[in-house]
């Protein structure tokens, strides 16, 4: 009956994607889901992925056997190096363990499940996850599914359309000692607003004093600063500070492997004589959880990423492809800002170029978002987030004029 299984609402983001597909107006623009598009609004298969694909298909040894429970070893070890750095003491000292997952969502889920089972703070009030307000909508559902209470810390300032640093630090300081704090490593989704290095240092300091447990989500490495290394800076700073922490890593965006579900979950423990034993125990439990949930991860995306990550030439090509994507997005930010400023659209628009990564949090309200959709066939999430990659040289003029029209109304 209805009480046992009531009708659930459609997922807002995938619902938006479906509505866009149904719209037959030629002027329609998709700024919804965070997926890279080229200047013709088409999905872009990275040239390096095409090369790796060819290598895979020419491999006479290729078969469709199961991967190990923890995934493709060449992939997980390269993923560790990508996020922690090739010379990372955490890797050398065997303080890190990695498990291949169903992209970033699977990695957040595996981490959530692990924490629900094994995180045992002395203060039971601390068994909650603090996420930024706002955060990627799926975070709330994933932690909710494993019955971990989710609480929010302030993050976005509506006034400056930048970081509400005081609010963030205050809430982290005020959280019960030993709380789990979810942090976006770079290119925050949905706001495009990241802490500076100085601010990260302060966040680490407060978290250390309060014995909080960091859980990093990294889905946009290579999209924020244009450098893979710089985009991993915050995580590495925390590792250097000796935190025990978790990382959920996605290759959907930076390899364009959206549907292949390539990702990785990492556990890193603090330096000390028990480190290797801790890592072994945690790894054994992760394997049990993984086996019952997905048995073993899918091979194709991990094989592609692994070929690229483990080959210097392909890696260099990948970095170039990343620059192509992030460069086009940065260009669109500049053009959009200057067009809105030229049109005299009420408000300030510097946040469009100040924010980074795939998204911009425009400040458009739900009413304006609805008008853009109904009158102009422009699709974006209700919170006013736009996926910058949906803009291109052909539609940006129409977009700016449409925004101008709804803001002036
Ligand atoms: C997004 O936020 O648009 C992406 O991360 C896609 C998703 O799975 O939600």
Whether ligand 1 lies within 6 angstroms of the CB of 138 is answered as yes
Give the residue, by CA position, lying nearest to ligand 1 atom 4: 34
Whether ligand 1 lies within 6 angstroms of the CB of 17 is answered as no
Q: How far apart are CA 228 and CA 230, in angstroms?
A: 6
Q: Tabulate helix, strand, coil % of the chain (nearest 5).
A: 50, 15, 40
Judged by DSSP in three states, 30 sits in strand
* Ranges in the chain, pLDDT < 50: none
Name the CA radius of gyration of the chain, rounded: 21
- pTM summary value: 0.96
Q: How far is the CA of 66 from the centre of ligand 1 (A)?
A: 28
Q: What is the DSSP letter of 132?
A: E
The bridge status of strand 359-361 relative to strand 262-268 is unpaired
How much is the pLDDT for 359? 95
Q: How far is the CA of 278 from the centre of ligand 1 (A)?
A: 33
| Catalytic positions | 136, 217, 253
Closest-CA residue to 232 (of 252, 254, 213, 257): 254
Reported as type and span, the H/E element at residue 194 is none
How much is the pLDDT for 121? 84
Ligand 1 atom having least distance to the Cα of 34: 3
Instruction: Indicate if ipTM > 0.85.
Output: yes
Whether ligand 1 lies within 6 angstroms of the CB of 136 is answered as yes
Query: Angle between the 275-293 and 103-118 helix axes, to the nearest 10 degrees?
Result: 120
Q: How far is the CA of 259 from the centre of ligand 1 (A)?
A: 12
Whether ligand 1 lies within 6 angstroms of the CB of 33 is answered as yes
How much is the pLDDT for 1? 65
**Which residue, chain included where needed, has tokens 């709330």?**
140
How much is the pLDDT for 334? 98
Whether ligand 1 lies within 6 angstroms of the CB of 114 is answered as no
Domains of the chain in start order, with CATH, are 12-45+327-408 (3.90.1150.10), 73-310 (3.40.640.10)
């Amino acid at each position: 009956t209805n009480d046992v299984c009531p009708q659930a609402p459609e997922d807002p983001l995938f619902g938006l994607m479906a509505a866009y597909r149904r719209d037959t107006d030629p002027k329609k623009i998709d700024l919804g889901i965070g997926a890279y598009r080229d200047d013709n609004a088409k999905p872009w298969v990275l040239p390096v992925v095409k090369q790796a694909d060819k290598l895979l298909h020419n491999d006479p040894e290729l078969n469709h056997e199961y991967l190990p429970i923890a995934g493709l070893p060449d992939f997980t070890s390269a993923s560790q190096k990508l996020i922690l750095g090739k010379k990372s003491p955490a890797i050398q000292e065997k303080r890190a363990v990695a498990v291949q997952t169903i992209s970033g969502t699977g990695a957040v889920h595996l981490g959530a499940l692990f924490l629900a089972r094994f995180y045992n703070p002395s203060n039971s009030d601390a068994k909650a996850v603090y996420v930024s307000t706002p955060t990627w909508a799926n975070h709330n559902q994933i932690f909710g599914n494993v019955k971990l209470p989710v609480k929010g810390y302030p993050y976005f300032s509506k006034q400056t359309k930048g970081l509400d640093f005081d609010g963030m630090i205050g809430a982290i300081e005020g959280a019960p000692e030993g709380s789990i704090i979810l942090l976006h490593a770079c290119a925050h989704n949905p706001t495009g607003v990241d802490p500076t290095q100085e601010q990260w240092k302060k966040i680490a300091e407060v978290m250390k004093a309060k014995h909080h447990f960091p859980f990093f989500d990294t889905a946009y490495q290579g999209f924020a600063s244009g450098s893979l290394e710089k985009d991993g800076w915050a995580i590495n700073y925390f590792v250097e500070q000796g935190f025990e922490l978790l990382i959920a890593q996605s290759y959907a965006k930076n390899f364009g492997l959206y549907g292949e579900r390539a990702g990785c979950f990492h556990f890193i423990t603090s330096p000390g004589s028990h480190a290797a034993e801790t890592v072994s125990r945690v790894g054994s439990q992760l394997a049990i959880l993984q086996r019952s949930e997905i048995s073993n991860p899918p091979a194709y995306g991990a094989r592609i990423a692994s070929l690229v990550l483990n080959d210097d030439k392909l890696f260099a090509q990948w970095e170039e492809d990343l620059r192509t994507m992030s460069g086009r997005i940065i260009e669109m930010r500049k053009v959009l800002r200057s067009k809105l400023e030229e049109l005299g659209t009420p408000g300030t628009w510097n946040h469009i170029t100040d924010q980074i990564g795939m998204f911009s949090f425009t400040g458009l309200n739900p009413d304006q978002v609805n008008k853009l959709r109904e009158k102009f066939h422009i699709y974006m999430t209700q919170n006013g987030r736009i996926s910058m990659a949906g803009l291109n040289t052909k539609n940006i003029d129409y977009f700016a004029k449409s925004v101008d029209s709804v803001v002036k109304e």
